[in-house]
Amino acid sequence: MVQKINLNTPEFVAWMAACQELVDTQLRAGSPDYYADREHTHVLSAEAGGKFIRIVTDNGTQRSSWAFIAREDSVTKALGMVKRGDVHKCASWKAPARHARGSILNGGTGGVTQWTGPSYIR
């Protein structure tokens, strides 16, 4: 039986580190003086739920939902079939959008290409 993805799953930890590096690199490139004295530009953190892990970004004054990660293979009424490790864009603070943008199991940032979160489907 395949285990649920948890906050300490090696693939998840590696994905979070890659995404944090992406966010820091892209924001520092755009505003090098503003972010020069900060360790991280926007801090990414994770909150585990029943079916998804919500990724939250915090810039020091506000928090916002950044992405959702499917914890296990499941079928939901709103999203249909969801596969373990799928990266979803946010539909709202509490809900992932339909259609996966990538997977954390593929390595790297798993479909996240911008500091703003998972990319739109083209």
Would residue 122 count as lying in a domain?
no
Cβ atoms 87, 112 nearer than 8 A: yes
Do the strands 80-82 and 52-58 form a parallel or antiparallel pair, or are they unpaired? unpaired
Would residue 70 count as lying in a domain?
yes
Share of the chain above pLDDT 70, in %: 98
Would residue 1 count as lying in a domain?
no
pLDDT, tens digit, 9 for 90 and up, residues 24-69:
888 888 888 877 777 778 899 999 999 999 999 998 899 999 999 9
* Tokens representing residue 74 in the block: 């499941």
Would residue 4 count as lying in a domain?
no
Would residue 5 count as lying in a domain?
no
- pLDDT reported for residue 122: 61
Would residue 49 count as lying in a domain?
yes
Residue written as token pair 């339909």: 98
Number of compact structural domains in the chain: 1
- pLDDT reported for residue 50: 92
Domain that holds residue 64: 10-111+113-117
Quote the CA–CA distance of 22 and 1 in Å, as a whole number: 33
Would residue 84 count as lying in a domain?
yes
Would residue 74 count as lying in a domain?
yes
